[in-house]
Amino acid sequence: MIGIIGAMQIEIEHIKSVMEYVKTKEISGIIFYTGKIYGKDITLAKCGIGKVFAAVCAEAMILNFKPDVIVNIGVAGTLTDSLNTADIAIAKSVVHHDLDTSPLGDPFGLISGINIVNIECDKNVVRLLEKCAKPLDVKCECGVIASGDQFVCTSEKKSYIRKTFNAIACEMEGASIGHVCFINGVKFGVLRAISDGADEKSHMDYQEFVPIAAKNSFKVIKNFIEEY
């Protein structure tokens, strides 16, 4: 079973439209779609925006559908000059950029209890996502993807996240899904397409580029399902 989570309707609708034999089950207000794509078992959900919804969704998916792997798909703001709108960012690891116990002497982003900052994605999942992005006519980079409960739209915040975590893209769910997968021993990956520049100049690109970015993320995950 391959689990796929997107935050918004536009991030899951293409994949939903190619699913066959679809059944639905609602848990904690989230609709889980199970069915088949390329003959493979899929569970798909729209978690809603932000880290709490993402965590609830990942936990419910793991406990109820027992996926071998969860891939978080969707859009992100770029943190690097080398990724532009419609390009692809694949996480090698994820971080919570808004998790801060630094006044207690901890590094920024430290997850107390498990004592790590970066949650590593499954290496085979990363490799396969990278391979599946190749046929697209856009740039693809692997690196750290940073999540927080905010839409990043200032150069100050953007450069803080880039410099502190060496991150290439920012969004609002990936680290929560990775965190839940990590504590449950489930493989995970995060695949995002760039929708905006995450600063004053270009965060308004978002409305225009979300549909294009969501389509690119769909193309990669579709290839991934075929190859997995």
Note the residues at the interface with ligand ADE (CB under 6 A): 75-77, 151-153, 170-172, 195-196, 198, 203, 206
The DSSP string of 57-103 is HHHHHHHHH--SEEEEEEEEEE-STT--TT-EEEEEEEEETT---GG
- Rank residues 187 and 215 by Cβ distance to ligand ADE and give the closer one: 215
Torsional sign, CA 185, 167, 147, 116: positive
- Rank residues 16 and 192 by Cβ distance to ligand ADE and give the closer one: 192
d(CA 20, CA 35): 5
What residue number has its CB nearest to ligand ADE?
A: 77
- Given the residues 130, 173, 196, 199, select the one marked as catalytic: 196
Least distance (Å) from ligand ADE to the CB of residue 214?
10
- Rank residues 72 and 195 by Cβ distance to ligand ADE and give the closer one: 195
Least distance (Å) from ligand ADE to the CB of residue 154?
10
Least distance (Å) from ligand ADE to the CB of residue 190?
12
Pairing of strands 2-6, 69-78: parallel
Active site residue 196: yes
* Residues whose CB falls within 8 Å of the CB of residue 212, separated by 6 or more in sequence, listed in order: 85, 86, 193, 195
The DSSP string of 111-133 is BTTTTBSPEEPPHHHHHHHHHHH
- Rank residues 62 and 76 by Cβ distance to ligand ADE and give the closer one: 76
- Given the residues 11, 171, 199, 205, select the one marked as catalytic: 11
Active site residue 20: no
Give the active site residues: 11, 196
